[in-house]
């Protein structure tokens, strides 16, 4: 009988980004290696491998260019500041100070990005939101979270694609899944796994009483060909159904939506965003591979840390962040202690303070499967 979790294999190559340090010599060596590989006329005989190498080369080249540009700008600004001081030009000196402060912030951001050294951190992400118990209240909260994450993605130049959506009976969403694409999308979002709690005056309560709502967020990497997940076809149940929700003109006309159940684990994935049943099935299989891989990582984290699974009940005692809109306004992360009184800005997508704090604290660090 096949194990309920996949056999996973990962590349053993040490990345230039490791432990918060950008290994300059290793980065230059690897870039030379990638340049040589991309000049091989036989490279595109294996299209998936070629795409992976080209993507890695592009990301590494961009990181090296950012580092060089930062060093050059720092040298130029320091020289201008020194010249302004000698000439007594207070205005030019103040401008140089502002430029140096901006450079310091850029350097801080790059240092944080260098912490994204996990094998899956550079990958795209599937982001799934599920409403907790509480009916319309929690379903409306799930839709608010969806808006928050799409606003964050737009602000950072990430592309997102709607995968699946189940609407609430009266308002909001019971569940929704997005694919968020861009450099380090999974690395930044992986710490959002957990239950998010909202406290507010209910817009659905005629007596305007305060309500507490819960919704869970689950983020998995869109794994590429560097990670192999073996799935036995006999372990799958595949159902088709008519799509519903914001899926386009074909909605409710054809049985194009696909639901796949992995019997050994009970994991269920579904996709309804395309007219083609074949394409929906391929996307659903990618989601299943991602969830099985995350399940394997989770089991290894549990074995190493002797902790309970992070995907727990959607309710009290399991939340990672609280969003309070009444009687005061505050958003607080319960893992890092970071908080802000500008709750509306957070709900409008200003998540960087929380994401950066979680990354710096090592929240959501993945256990590396043995090669």
> CATH number of the domain that 58 lies in?
1.20.58.410
Structure tokens at 223: 């794994």
Looking at residue 17, what is its pLDDT? 52
Evaluate if residue 220 carries a pLDDT over 50: yes
Count: domains in the chain: 2
Looking at residue 358, what is its pLDDT? 92
User: Is 270 domain-assigned?
Assistant: yes
Cβ burial of 251 (10 Å; 0-12, 13-18, 19+) is middle
pLDDT-derived band at 151, boundaries 50, 70, 90: very high
Structure tokens at 298: 């989770």
Q: Mean pLDDT lowest for which of 18-22, 293-297, 319-323, 360-364? A: 18-22
Domain span at 32 = 21-113
pTM exceeding the 0.85 threshold for the entire prediction: no
Q: Looking at the structure, tell me whether residues 211 and 196 fall in a common domain.
A: yes
Evaluate if residue 302 carries a pLDDT over 50: yes
Structure tokens at 127: 């982001």
Model confidence pLDDT, tens digit, residues 156-206 = 999 999 999 999 988 999 999 999 999 889 999 999 999 999 999 999 887
Evaluate if residue 114 carries a pLDDT over 80: no
CA 195, CA 187: separation in Å to the nearest integer? 19
Looking at residue 111, what is its pLDDT? 76
Mean pLDDT of the chain: 83
CA 102, CA 36: separation in Å to the nearest integer? 36
Q: Looking at the structure, tell me whether residues 99 and 248 fall in a common domain.
A: no
Cβ burial of 55 (10 Å; 0-12, 13-18, 19+) is middle
Model confidence pLDDT, tens digit, residues 326-335 = 999 999 999 9
| Phi/psi at 324 (5° precision) | -110, 125
Evaluate if residue 364 carries a pLDDT over 60: yes
Q: Looking at the structure, tell me whether residues 151 and 90 fall in a common domain.
A: no
Average pLDDT over residues 258-276: 91
Q: Looking at the structure, tell me whether residues 234 and 260 fall in a common domain.
A: yes
Domain boundary among 69, 84, 113: 113
């Amino acid at each position: 009988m096949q194990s309920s979790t996949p056999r996973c294999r990962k590349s053993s190559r040490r990345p230039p980004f490791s432990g918060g340090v950008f290994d300059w010599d290793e980065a230059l060596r690897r870039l030379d290696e990638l340049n040589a590989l991309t000049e091989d006329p036989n490279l595109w005989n294996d299209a998936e491998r070629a795409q992976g190498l080209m993507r890695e080369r592009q990301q590494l080249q961009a990181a090296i260019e950012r580092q060089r540009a930062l060093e050059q700008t720092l040298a130029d600004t320091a020289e201008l500041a020194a010249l302004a001081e000698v000439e007594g030009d207070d205005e030019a000196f103040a401008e140089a100070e502002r430029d140096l402060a901006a450079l310091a912030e850029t350097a801080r951001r790059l240092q944080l990005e260098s912490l994204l050294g996990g094998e899956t951190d550079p990958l795209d992400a599937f982001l799934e939101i599920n409403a907790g118990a509480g009916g319309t209240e929690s379903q409306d909260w799930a839709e608010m979270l969806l808006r928050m994450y799409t606003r964050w993605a737009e602000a950072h130049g990430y592309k997102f694609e709607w995968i699946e959506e189940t609407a609430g009976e009266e308002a909001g969403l019971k569940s929704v899944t997005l694919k968020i694409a861009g450099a380090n999308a999974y690395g930044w979002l992986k710490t959002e796994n957990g239950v998010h709690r909202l406290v507010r005056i209910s817009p659905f309560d005629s007596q305007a009483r305060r309500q507490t709502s819960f919704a869970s967020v689950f983020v998995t990497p869109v794994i590429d060909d560097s990670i192999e997940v073996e799935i036995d076809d006999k372990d799958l149940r595949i159902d088709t159904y008519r799509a519903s929700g914001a899926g386009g003109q074909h909605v409710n006309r054809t049985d194009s939506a696909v639901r796949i159940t992995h019997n050994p684990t009970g994991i269920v994935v579904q996709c309804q965003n395309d007219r083609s049943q074949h394409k929906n099935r391929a996307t659903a299989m990618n989601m299943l591979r991602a969830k099985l891989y995350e399940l394997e990582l989770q089991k290894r984290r549990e074995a190493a840390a002797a902790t309970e699974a992070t995907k727990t009940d959607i309710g009290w005692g399991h939340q990672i962040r609280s969003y309070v809109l009444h009687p005061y306004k505050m958003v607080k992360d319960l893992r890092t202690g970071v908080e802000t009184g500008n709750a509306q800005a957070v709900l409008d997508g200003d998540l960087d303070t929380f994401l950066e704090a979680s990354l710096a604290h090592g929240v959501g660090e993945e256990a590396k499967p043995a090669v």
